[in-house]
Chains A and B, each alone.
Chain A
Amino acid sequence: MDEFKLPLKYTTKTNQFILSLIFLLMPLWAVILPFTIGLSLNQFFQVPIILFLFFLVLLFIFLALVFEDDKIIMTRHWVSFPLFLIPRLKFKREFAYQEILKADIVSDLPNKEQIVLFFNNNLNLTMDLKFFKNIQEIEQFLLTIEICAKNCERSSNLIEYQNKILIAELKDNTLSYTKLWDEELNYRFCPTNFQPLTIGARLRNDQFIVLKQIAFGGFSAVYLATNLNKQEVILKEMVIYNFLTPEQVIKVNELFRREASILAKLNHPKIAKILDFFVENERHYIVLEKIWGENLRLKIRETGCLDENLIIQIAHKLALILDYIHGLNPPVIHRDISPDNIILQNNQDVFLIDFGSANEIISSATRTMIGKKAYISPEQFKGKANKASDLYSLGSTLFYLATAQEPEALTQQELIKFKPNCSVFLNKLIKDLTNLDYNKRPLLNDVLSKIDSVLNDLA
């Protein structure tokens, strides 16, 4: 492991221009001119002034090399500043991190922000943000100070500025409340036992380019990517090669392929289409249509629980989708109905993204349960999912929509205990749907007709 060394550019445009000029003209002023003058002077003075000029030339060269220094170098233990700054620092160039006592950011004029560093011995340094190459390097500079300078007291303005840069980079368009960010990160990103793809990674002969990592954890990852037509798609990646025998890997990949081809045949305007599926580098990928809009989990975290009318409408639309997939031959069980997988557009259109069948394959291959615990029905937990399992998940999801709280796993949900003024209808609906005994849950047709009549009454 090499020593950490981070060079950052710090210079003004005029500085750079002048120096480049000097540098290009070096043959002229450094070599030709002095010797010419020297030779001429030699005529008059007969003194080997040339020798002096020879060293003068070397001096010029040395100065040129020294003054074109424009790098701040940061290593594990010290930071060194470019030479043109050192007069301000009493000719000290290198500072151990322990010597940095305080860091602050001031802005005298808008757009003229400056970082101020205070060192011991009453030294301080003001650095113009504009002299840095770009925002990323400013971030790196501040981050390194944050990590390595343990004695440094960072002002609240500085911390706020750093957070601003960070959020600007991490933010996706759907999340606007920064205080939710911490939890969001924890939710979406968990350790994995494989290395997810990085931004810019290419798959299938450059057919797909990864734009962003949306989530990862355990065996799987989700990315935003572009395809050949420059459209944005969702890539779901699953990695199970780690510990299965090669024969098992083939078998599991076959199961994936079969699932994906079944799902690819689904044709419903409100279900995200599977555009493609393939295996590459022993990882299984499903390419999904990107549906714009916020998923319900995020939406509710931002704006709180939904209005009952809306919830019932959403329930209706979801039930219709379930009716479609359950009605296929053979019936397709979703297995992962949860607020994460539902997108609400324009407060009325409901889309279902993502199926949980891949989870089931991984679950049985690894003997660990994959899936969001809060929405899984007991029989699905035992490995025996059926059509009614989707209804349980639907009921739990409705509970979440109504209370903005995650339902307790493997429990029959009683809305009225959390929202005393909810309607009798919604309470009963959720309670029936989340009955722990799947035989006692209502049939989808009943659910649909009940909701229909309620909606008609409201209209």
Chain B
Amino acid sequence: MNNLTTENNLPNYKVNYSSLKGVRKFLRHRFSLLNTYKAWYTILIIILFFYLGGFSFIQNILFDLSLNNEYFTKYSFANSATSLFQLISYLFCLTLPVILLVYYLFNQESELILKPDIIILRYFAGIKQFTYPRNILIAVKFKRENNLKDDGEVLLEFSNKKALKLQLKYFFDDQSKRFFLDYLQNTPQLNQIDSGLIDLLSKPDNQSYTQLWLEALSNEANISNLTNLPLGYSLYNNRYTILSQIAVGGYSIAYLAYDNVIQKNCVLKEYVLSNSVHLEIQKKVLQDIEKEYKLLKDLNNPKIVKVLAMFVENSRAYLVLENITGKSLRQLIADNKNFSQLEVIDLAYQMIEILSFLHNLNTPIIHNDFTPENLILDADSILHLIDFNISNYADTFTTSLIAGKPSYTSAEQVKGHLNVQNDIYALGASLYFLLTNQDPEPLAQSSPRSINHLISKTFDEVIQKCTNQDLKFRYKNVLEIKDDLDKI
């Protein structure tokens, strides 16, 4: 089921769509649940009895008995009875393979295959198949069944007057529903999809717990647990294919991946939730990750990485983030790029813009990890902020092991205080890094001019004020920095 089959090198998207579910359910219930051996034992007995001439055996015994009993000799075995037995036994032996064949056919899952250019509905392992080109899909209509079950009928209408009716309850799982929705939403000519349908198809936010617990309950971890994801590995029902590992943080690993449904690169941030026996532990960890997800989801700023989705698979939680092409500031410096003072000032303005956005939200967000690793410069020289690892849930991990990058962590942040000035300190430290190509000394006021005399005195003072160890003398908000920068 997890095969990614391709035709003409186009990635394929298979959704499990089980229209014969009722019958299959019954069959599976009775015959495949760990009790198969009993069913087969029964069938075997019957077959053996008939094939090995059980009839005649019993007949003979009775015949022998009857010979010794006067009462029985009055009646003799009619020959017709014997041939009747034989007829029945042959009939039975013939119907058995037919029954098995029907069982096999009904047991095959039907498939709804969503390819980039066509939609295929297959029954009975391909014996029956309906094909529709995607570009003639003109409308999606939705009729809800009853309010108790998540059910309804989706009608896909095509311009050649054909229509495809799909029952929601036959979509095998929530992943399939979501893919179906993404597929529809990415079909350009479809402009309107019923919001009721969207609701039913998109996963509510707390599904990740459910997924996690259910996976753990059924012990479903099925990839080698001790290594990271190999290249080419597919996740989430083949939606994401791992391309490469791009970064490792204290709590997570970031992979570059390809999203097969919307056909773009994306970044998967993976948090390992140990498949320890105790779900409570995983749940707590998952709660914090969900917090990060919710935090990011509501942010809407072109300079801040967007989070697209969250899911749980194989005891790992994934955040799907948009991919930003470019190198981080740290990478650029490592590649021997030297930033001129003007370039750094321009970057400073961009940093201020980002921080000012975050600090001025209705509930201000303090980033707490504003470092050169987390700032990406794209081809148009626009700065992007990625990675909200520590952010506002610093309170959860205060006594835990990882304290952040020392050079960019203010003393107050180490003490666990949440303050916009933490970010200002990190901003100053980052500017120092850009100007001198080295990390500043931790817990100390930084002055790049002491290393590089070419830096203007005013700029140096700005950076000193950002990294002042005394909160009273540090900038209180980023706009103050902007004012001072304007003076250069």
Contacts and interface: CB of A to CB of B under 8 A. Distances in A.
Interface of A: 1-7, 23, 26-27, 30-32, 35-36, 39-40, 42-44, 46, 48, 50-51, 54, 61, 64-66, 68-69, 71, 73, 76-77, 80, 96, 98-99, 140, 143-144, 147-148, 166, 169-170, 182, 185-187, 189-199, 213, 216-221, 242-243, 281, 359, 366-374, 376, 378, 381-383, 406, 408-411
Contacts of B313: 1
Given A198-B225, A243-B248, A368 B402 contact: yes
B443 A378 contact: yes
A216 B251 CA distance: 11
B363 interface: no
Contact of B403 (A42, A143, A243, A368): A368
B210 A80 contact: no
B250 A218 contact: yes
A370 B402 contact: yes
B272 interface: yes
Contacts of B33: 7, 71, 73
A409 B415 contact: yes
B415 A170 contact: no
Closest 7 CB pairs of A and B: A243-B248, A369-B403, A242-B248, A191-B251, A43-B75, A191-B271, A195-B225
A71 B35 CA distance: 10
10 contacts: A43-B66, A48-B81, A98-B149, A194-B226, A217-B402, A219-B250, A242-B228, A281-B226, A367-B405, A369-B403
A98 B148 contact: yes
A368 B278 CA distance: 29
Given A43-B75, A189-B281, A369-B405, A216 B38 contact: no
A199 B225 contact: no
B251 A193 contact: yes
Nearest to A61: B42
A4 B274 contact: no
Majority secondary structure of chain B interface residues (helix, strand, loop or mixed): mixed
Given A98-B148, A372-B401, A192 B55 contact: no
A193 B272 contact: yes
Contacts of A359: 401
A147 B210 contact: yes
Given A169-B278, A368-B250, A31 B416 contact: no
A185 B280 contact: yes
A140 B217 contact: yes
A27 B173 contact: no
Contacts of B288: 191
A200 to B, nearest CB: 10
What interface size band does chain B fall in? 35 or more
B259 interface: no
A147 B214 contact: yes
A66 B42 CA distance: 13
Contacts of B275: 195, 198
Contact of B249 (A23, A69, A193): A193
Contacts of B58: 32, 35-36, 39
B417 to A, nearest CB: 9
Interface in B211-239: 213-215, 217-218, 220, 225-228, 236-237
A51 B89 CA distance: 11
A382 B85 CA distance: 94
A170 B251 contact: no
Identify the interface centre among B77, B78, B149, B404: most chain A CB within 10 Å of its CB: B149
B11 interface: no
B49 A381 contact: no
Contacts of A143: 213, 217, 279
B441 interface: yes
B274 A186 contact: no
Interface in B1-58: 1-2, 29-30, 33-35, 38-39, 41-42, 45-46, 49, 54-55, 58
Contacts of A383: 406, 442
A402 B279 CA distance: 35
A267 to B, nearest CB: 29
A3 B172 contact: yes
A133 to B, nearest CB: 13
B164 interface: no
B310 interface: no
B46 A194 contact: no
A382 B276 contact: no
B397 interface: yes
A407 B161 CA distance: 74
B377 interface: no
Given A1-B313, A193-B252, A216-B274, 18 more contacts: A4-B217, A39-B58, A54-B88, A68-B35, A77-B149, A144-B217, A148-B210, A169-B277, A170-B278, A189-B281, A195-B275, A217-B401, A281-B227, A367-B439, A373-B399, A373-B416, A382-B406, A382-B441
B256 to A, nearest CB: 14
A242 B253 contact: yes
B399 A372 contact: yes
B272 A65 contact: no
Contacts of A99: 148
Contacts of A51: 84, 88
A197 B30 CA distance: 37
A418 B200 CA distance: 56
Contacts of A64: 42
Contacts of B38: 23, 65, 68
A69 to B, nearest CB: 8
B66 to A, nearest CB: 8
B234 to A, nearest CB: 11
Interface in B127-155: 148-150
A50 B214 contact: no
Nearest to B289: A191
B312 to A, nearest CB: 10
Given A196-B276, A198-B276, A213-B276, A369 B406 contact: yes
B279 A371 contact: no
Given A44-B75, A371-B403, A4 B251 contact: no
